[in-house]
Structure 1
Amino acid sequence: MDKKTEEFYIRLKEELTNSTLWPSEYLYKFIVPSDAGKIAQVEAAFNDMGAVITTQQSKTGKFTSISVSVNMKDPQTVIDKYIEVSDIEGIISL
């Protein structure tokens, strides 16, 4: 993980710790190329977590936005999930 990414996660953890009572509902937002396999990989990362997942294809059809609302234990578990899905080729975390 590069330094910029690491600093982002440190800031995010501080913000989540200071702004939210945990456990709490967290909304992830991702953009992936419109490829059924990539969408399935994101969905699989939240399997068995009781997540509510919605997808919306872009106007051009090239990309799909994925929103995942899920109850998370603490800020570190939120960050761990971001790191887990970051291996999916072409994913953008918002």
Structure 2
Amino acid sequence: MALSKEQEEFYNKLRSQLFETASWPSEYLYKFIVPSDKNKIKQIEDLFDNLGAVIKTTESKNGKYTSVSINVNMKNPDAVIEKYQEIGEKVEGVISL
């Protein structure tokens, strides 16, 4: 999937910030918001399977959305960005924070 110019700029800025703020490999905290659908949550969890991730889910007050926080050791900023892109492509309706 080709990235839009805005997405490309966002990921380039994120890559720079990650290089500046951490020494790699490093622990990284992903945060996503998804509609409260067990299948969507499982899709996200499965994409972090076998990475030693600690995953915490919290349902919103009205139950429409679920926050998914994932703490995982990543080898470098490019690996972090690749995972964001993979989630965005494979999980419909996900919001990355």
Tell me if both proteins adopt one fold, taking TM over 0.5 as the criterion: yes
- Is 2:82 the partner of 1:80? yes
RMSD between aligned residues:
0.5
Instruction: Determine the structure 2 residue equivalent to 1:36.
Output: 38
Instruction: Determine the structure 1 residue equivalent to 2:8.
Output: 6
Instruction: Determine the structure 1 residue equivalent to 2:59.
Output: 57
* Residue-by-residue CA offset, 1:49-88 (whole Å, 9 max, x unaligned): 0000000000010000000000000000000000000021
What letter matches 2:22 in structure 1?
A: T
Query: Unaligned stretches of 5+ in structure 1?
Result: none
State the TM-score, normalized to the length of structure 1: 0.98
Instruction: Determine the structure 2 residue equivalent to 1:22.
Output: 24
State the TM-score, normalized to the length of structure 2: 0.95
Aligned length in residues: 94
